[in-house]
Amino acid sequence: MKFDLVFEGGGAKGMIFVGALQEFEARGNTHGRLLGTSAGAITATLLAAGYGSQEMLEALAEKQDGKSVFTSFMGTPAPFTKEEILDSDILTLLKSIDIPLIPEAIEEKLDDKLIGWLAKQPRSSHLVSFVERGGWYSADNFIRWLQTKLDSGKYKRKPRQFSGITLEQFYAATRKDLSLVVSDTTGESMLVVNHRTAPECPLVWAVRMSMSIPLLWQEVVWQKEWGLYLGQDITGHTIVDGGLLSNFPIELFLSSLENVTALMGPKGDAPVMGLLIDETLPVPGAEQPAAQKPSSGIGELQTVRRISNLVNTLLSAHDKMVMDAFEKLVVHLPAQGYGTTEFDMSDERRELLVAAGQKTMSKYLDQRAMVSFAVVDEAEEDRAAETANKIAARILGRTINQKLTPA
């Protein structure tokens, strides 16, 4: 059976999708439209690029210098340019502080030396990146990894060559309807990027924007050469993880609002399935990771922890509302005790997570097979559609009122 698939965001916990897809494929199922946020955007993109669960499983096991390749995704910031340092908020702050008994000329030189030193030191450069680039870590290694994946192996017996193309070109090459959710913090709105809404946006950067967890990874700034979004010029807008506004946007595939279907494409006959990472459900056999001494990372900052907790609360409230409304369509994948940034998890913990995904999908498909899709409760279907319309209209806000450019 063909399903339209929705993948939730969840960082390293998204590895569980591979196990779920193993069982999904083993039952002979295929996918239609694909929608993902953050880690779900990565999974959806690889699926659209022709990756099967076995190739994804091999990718999970990749090592670099004896460690999981995913640990490199939380990278050291690239060197700061002279212009960045001179225009930095930190330097502005330093210059606003008057140190008694020190001549102004000497104080200015000290300020310049201090910001230059902070920007070059391995540890303090993260702090400079946090303030100036909007995130503690660089995601440059992730970009390189994704580019490699999109150019590795074969797609329909031909070499994959997807790393340097736009969303429009990717759709033309694959005919896969892929949509990724991102958050425009400048425009204060949620964006759904695909070949209809942002045809000139590079595929790799669409994924990079969607996985950019706020404050953790550096923000992405929309470039002029990426073209328009819904006919609007958003050059210079700051874009971050779509999960900031909707971590599990299953309602976008269910809504019948004309402006929503214009974003997402026409609704077909394929049923919708949402793969949700449920942190309340334990992973069989997995123990809580041993407590580690905190390193000098983003998690030590009280402000970051407070903001992170607030965002998690907002996302949980939205996800709960969606789950309550569309419970029958949601696969609850267990991930209790696993961390969003646990990219260095042991092979054993990763294998247990993948196995849990496979087992959970098996149980879900067995239960779903017992439901006759030929028998439809029209009243229930109408209520679900109405709920989807309300949720979609709320999370998209003014975006759905903007005019689409011709596809």
Beta strands in 110-257 (DSSP E): 135-137, 154-155, 158-159, 178-184, 189-193, 215-217, 220-221, 238-241
**pLDDT value, residue 257:** 87
pLDDT band at 296 (very low <50, low <70, confident <90, very high): very low
Angle at 62 between CA 125 and CA 173, to 5 degrees: 95
Cβ contact 13:338 at 8 Å: yes
Tokens representing 400 are 């759905």
Helix (H) or strand (E) holding 34: strand 30-37
Q: Which bin fits 69, alpha (ψ -120 to 50), beta or left (φ > 0)?
A: alpha
Q: What whole-number distance in Å separates Cα of residue 276 and Cα of residue 12? A: 14
pLDDT band at 174 (very low <50, low <70, confident <90, very high): very high
What are 217's strand-pairing partners? 137
**pLDDT value, residue 294:** 47
- Listing DSSP states for 240-256 in one string gives EEGGGT-S--THHHH--
**pLDDT value, residue 303:** 56
**pLDDT value, residue 389:** 79
Domain boundaries, the chain: 1-70+140-393, 80-135
**For 1-70+140-393, CATH number?**
3.40.1090
**pLDDT value, residue 293:** 47
220-232 pLDDT, tens digit each? 999 999 999 999 9
Please determine, for residue 91, whether its predicted confidence score (pLDDT) is greater than 70: yes
Q: Which residues of 167-185 are buried (b: 16+ CB within 10 A; e: fewer)?
A: bbbbbebeebbbbbbbbbb
Please determine, for residue 304, whether its predicted confidence score (pLDDT) is greater than 90: no
Pairing of β 30-37 and β 189-193: unpaired
Rounded average pLDDT over 326-339: 92
What are 139's strand-pairing partners? none
**Short-list 222, 215, 238, 11, CA closest to 129:** 215
Rounded average pLDDT over 304-327: 61
Q: What whole-number distance in Å separates Cα of residue 72 and Cα of residue 142? A: 8
Beta strands in 92-248 (DSSP E): 135-137, 154-155, 158-159, 178-184, 189-193, 215-217, 220-221, 238-241
Please determine, for residue 101, whether its predicted confidence score (pLDDT) is greater than 80: no
What are 239's strand-pairing partners? 184, 220
Please determine, for residue 375, whether its predicted confidence score (pLDDT) is greater than 50: no
Range picked from 67-76, 189-198, 321-330, 388-397 for highest mean pLDDT: 189-198
Q: Between the CA of residue 281 and those of 284, 343, 366, what are the distances in Å?
A: 9, 20, 19
**pLDDT value, residue 41:** 96
Residue with the bigger pLDDT between 315 and 109: it is 109
Rounded average pLDDT over 189-194: 94
Specify the pTM: 0.88
Average predicted confidence (pLDDT) for the chain:
87
Residue with the bigger pLDDT between 350 and 316: it is 350
Q: What whole-number distance in Å separates Cα of residue 310 and Cα of residue 302? A: 12
Residue with the bigger pLDDT between 268 and 236: it is 236
248-292 pLDDT, tens digit each? 889 899 888 888 888 998 887 899 999 999 989 999 999 866 555
Percentage of the residues of the chain whose pLDDT score is greater than 90 = 62
SS3 of the chain: helix, strand, coil, percent, to 5: 50, 15, 35
CA 204 to mean position of chain CA atoms:
12
Q: What whole-number distance in Å separates Cα of residue 245 and Cα of residue 272? A: 21
Rounded average pLDDT over 136-157: 95
Of the listed ranges 52-61, 76-85, 388-397, the one predicted with least confidence: 388-397
